[in-house]
């Protein structure tokens, strides 16, 4: 079985020595991202930076898309249908979040 280092994009071999157990000693994982031992420290920094960037972007996006629909747990302004019931708006995910969830740094 092989995995790909998220930083250098090289394959990380996980050999099977015939006992059915894979050797993951060269594979390091942090928050769902996989790295070589030599790439791990830099990878952790990149993942933490990316997470912070994603969180800030998503927060701004949700606030701008919601457009003040919720205030103190209730409806502030929201589109309504003919009978006056609120029509929830769909909040779309920013591309940076989609990339992060797909393992792209």
Tell me the pLDDT tens digit for each residue of 5-23: 888 888 887 777 767 666 6
Q: Is the pTM of this model over 0.85?
A: no
- Name the residue range of residue 36's domain: 2-101
**For 36-94, how does the pLDDT look when each residue is reduced to its tens digit (9 = 90+)?**
889 999 999 999 999 999 988 888 776 665 555 544 445 555 667 777 776 666 667 78
Q: 22 or 2: which carries more pLDDT confidence? A: 2
Name the burial class of residue 6, with classes exposed (0-12), middle (13-18) and buried (19+) by CB atoms within 10 angstroms of its CB: buried
Alpha carbons 97 and 87: distance in angstroms, whole number: 25
Q: Please state the domain count of the chain.
A: 1
């Amino acid at each position: 079985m092989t995995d790909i280092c998220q930083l250098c994009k090289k394959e990380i071999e996980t050999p099977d020595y015939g006992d059915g157990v894979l050797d993951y000693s060269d594979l390091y994982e942090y928050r769902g991202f996989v790295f070589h031992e030599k790439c791990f420290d830099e990878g952790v920094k990149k993942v933490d930076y990316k997470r912070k960037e994603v969180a800030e972007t998503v927060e701004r996006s949700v606030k701008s898309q919601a457009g003040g629909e919720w205030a103190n747990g209730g409806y502030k302004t929201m589109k309504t249908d003919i009978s006056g019931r609120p029509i929830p708006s769909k909040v779309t995910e920013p591309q940076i979040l989609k990339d992060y969830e797909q393992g792209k740094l």
